């Protein structure tokens, strides 16, 4: 059903859109360019810390000013937690937010990053710390841990990797082959921000053709030192029986001929009894040496502990499933799932209520490798639960703080060809979520019952407040964001790349801003007069670039045009299918700057 913004809306002014089943594929991050992945597993969640490539297609240098972190439980639906660390967080740094790595110790997370050090030579390695894997991170020292003067003319101080052995001893490795540089390693004190003893060399006899990107992991008493080798960069590895070596070269993990990026950077993790190689390529549109993308594939060991060469895939890894923010609407009553009276305390009864676009009806889905879901109430942060973990018919559905119980997980079974309607089965009881007694009443209780095929046991999973923007001159095309900008596309993939929540303007509440419906904190903004979907870094410049005024359509008074807040007289327009901001006087055909707002 296609509804223009001036027509009626569905379910008492709630704009709802079809959900999109996320499918495993590489690259795993598609909305921005990402590089140099550093992956960890913490609390049954994979976190990947990346650099952020922002170089334009006409630039031949790295433009990297910040780092992002992404998380997933199913390796398909990745949550972007935004720009959680930037050059501005290091007062002594001026440029080059290059490849770093995070490690957890004593409930703190330490992020080792190379940056241009204003105080000592070229590169230095800093340390940021946080109480959470997703930040905020702050400079832990106030200066570099490793400086250029500590390794004079011996290596470029970049690409740090950190490893904690079973005995609790931490090690820091880093290096680059510029000017015949080699890998360096030093022990760290327990506080993780001081070195302990002398810096030691790992020479190229131990790591042949070393270029950069050392990474250490251990399995069954074997210590694996992988690294980028040659140019374009392969990934090789050497092994030892202790973290300091000596190391013996073993072979290739990833062949440069199989990867589209000339640079390479890797991490290796175990998750749910399987091993994975996390790396980057340049497979996104307009990708290249300076616009890379993180990918992930399975990694296998031989019986003798050697690693089999990894063949990159486009299929990727993980389990297909839903993810992100949804409204759950009962198929029988057409009412939406929410806590009674919008309460947020433990034990609050879950009910059905008239769909009214209130935040209390918004739920976040987290999908796991076991193909189960946690359904988290967005406003309270508590999860959908069954009271006291009951397995009985009629037990109440409630809100409760997440303690990872089986009764807090759910299975979804599609009941429609378009994957909009689902049975929702409690993992613990194997009973279905339903409106009690098939009632249609306002605030009727929701609980669990054996499957009887009734519509009171089926739920629409719908995106809240989703709007698509259609150029009037290209019916059936929609604005869709990718890493290289915003484009007109007839079949946006994924669908949610073309769905926006129109909010009050970030810089002026009388204007509007276009928020991503699946990536919290992301907005359309113009940069260099080109439109991008980017994370709101909190700056005045960003807020102004992301604010527009709805005006009467330049070519059609029944449609709309979007005037820039900080460039009056400039409008969003499409040119050769890409969206940009130009002065009205430069827009020969004003239909290029005129749009319909459409809700499905």
In the set 83, 96, 117, 212, the catalytic residue is 212
Q: Collect all residues with Cβ–Cβ distance below 8 Å to 65 and sequence separation of at least 6.
A: 52, 54, 86, 87, 95, 97
241 token code pair: 């029986």
Task: Answer yes or no: are the C-beta atoms of 124 and 146 closer than 8 Å.
Answer: yes
Q: Are 433 and 457 in contact (CB under 8 A)?
A: yes
Going edge to edge, which strands form the sheet with 222-229?
210-219, 222-229, 234-240, 248-254
Least Cα distance to 599 among 517, 508, 487 occurs for 517
Q: Contact at 8 Å (CB) between 167 and 218?
A: no
Q: Which residue is it, tokens 């990745």?
A: 78
Question: Percentages helix, strand, coil for the chain, rounded to the nearest 5?
Answer: 5, 45, 50
Beta carbons within 8 Å of 108's beta carbon, 6+ residues apart: 129, 130, 131, 192
- Distance, in Å, from the CA atom of 232 to the CA atom of 278, rounded to the nearest integer, reads 18
146 contacts 172 by C-beta, under 8 angstroms: yes
Our answer to whether residue 36 is catalytic in this structure is yes
d(CA 328, CA 320): 20
Strand-pairing partners, residue 252, are 236
* Known active-site residue 563: no
Catalytic residue among 36, 54, 89, 536: 36
Q: Which residues contact 288 (CB under 8 A, 6 or more apart)?
A: 57, 261, 282
Q: How far is CA 62 from the centre of its chain?
A: 21
Q: How many residues does the chain have?
A: 600
> Which residues are designated catalytic?
36, 212
């Amino acid at each position: 059903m296609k509804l223009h913004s001036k027509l009626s809306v569905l379910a008492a002014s709630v704009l709802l859109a079809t959900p999109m089943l996320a499918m495993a594929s590489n690259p795993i991050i598609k909305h921005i360019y990402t590089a140099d992945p550093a992956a960890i597993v913490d609390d049954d969640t994979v976190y990947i810390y990346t650099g952020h490539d922002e170089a334009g297609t006409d630039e031949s240098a790295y433009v990297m000013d910040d780092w992002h972190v992404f998380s997933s439980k199913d390796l398909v639906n990745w949550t972007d937690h935004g720009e959680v660390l930037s050059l501005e967080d290091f007062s002594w740094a001026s440029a080059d937010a290059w490849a770093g790595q995070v490690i957890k110790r004593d409930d703190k997370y330490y992020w080792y990053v190379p940056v241009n050090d204003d105080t000592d030579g070229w590169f230095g390695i800093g340390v940021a710390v946080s109480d959470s894997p997703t930040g905020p991170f702050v400079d832990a020292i106030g200066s570099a841990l490793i400086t250029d003067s500590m390794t004079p003319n011996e290596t470029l101080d970049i690409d740090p990797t950190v490893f904690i052995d079973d005995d609790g001893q931490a090690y820091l490795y880093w290096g680059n082959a510029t000017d015949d540089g080699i890998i360096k390693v030093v022990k760290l004190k327990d506080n993780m921000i001081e070195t302990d003893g002398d810096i030691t060399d790992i020479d190229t006899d131990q790591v042949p053709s070393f270029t950069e990107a050392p990474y250490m992991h251990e399995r069954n008493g074997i210590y694996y030192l992988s690294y980028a080798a040659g140019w374009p960069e392969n990934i090789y590895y050497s092994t030892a029986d202790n973290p300091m070596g000596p190391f013996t070269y073993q072979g290739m993990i990833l062949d440069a001929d199989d990867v589209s990026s000339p640079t390479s950077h890797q991490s290796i993790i175990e998750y749910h009894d399987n091993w994975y190689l996390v790396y980057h390529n340049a497979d996104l549109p307009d990708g290249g040496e300076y616009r890379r993308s993180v990918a992930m594939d399975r990694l296998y060991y031989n019986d003798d502990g050697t690693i089999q060469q990894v063949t990159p895939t486009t299929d990727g890894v993980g389990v297909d499933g839903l993810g992100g923010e949804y409204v759950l609407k009962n198929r029988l009553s057409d009412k939406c799932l929410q806590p009674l009276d919008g309460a947020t305390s433990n034990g609050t009864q879950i009910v059905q209520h008239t769909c009214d676009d209130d935040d209390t009806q918004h739920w976040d889905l987290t999908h796991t490798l076991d193909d189960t879901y946690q359904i988290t109430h967005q406003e309270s942060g508590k999860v959908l639960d069954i009271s006291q973990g009951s397995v009985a018919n009629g037990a109440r559905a409630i809100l409760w703080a997440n303690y990872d119980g089986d009764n807090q997980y759910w299975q979804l079974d599609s009941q429609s060809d378009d994957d909009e309607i689902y049975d929702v089965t409690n993992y613990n009881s194997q009973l279905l979520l339903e409106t009690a007694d098939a009632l249609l009443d306002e605030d009727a209780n929701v609980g669990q019952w054996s499957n009887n095929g009734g519509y009171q046991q089926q739920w629409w999973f719908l995106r809240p407040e989703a709007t698509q923007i259609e150029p009037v001159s290209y019916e059936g095309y929609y604005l869709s964001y990718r890493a290289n900008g915003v484009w007109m596309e007839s079949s946006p993939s994924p669908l949610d790349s073309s769905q926006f929540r129109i909010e009050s303007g970030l810089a002026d509440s009388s204007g509007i801003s276009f928020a991503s419906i699946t990536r919290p904190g992301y907005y359309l903004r113009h940069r260099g007069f080109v439109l991008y979907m980017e994370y709101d870094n909190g700056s005045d410049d960003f807020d102004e670039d992301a604010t527009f005024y709805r005006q009467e359509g330049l070519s059609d008074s029944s449609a709309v045009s979007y005037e820039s807040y900080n460039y009056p007289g400039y409008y969003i327009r499409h040119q050769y299918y890409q969206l940009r901001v130009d002065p009205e006087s430069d827009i020969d055909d004003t239909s290029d700057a005129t749009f319909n707002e459409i809700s499905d």
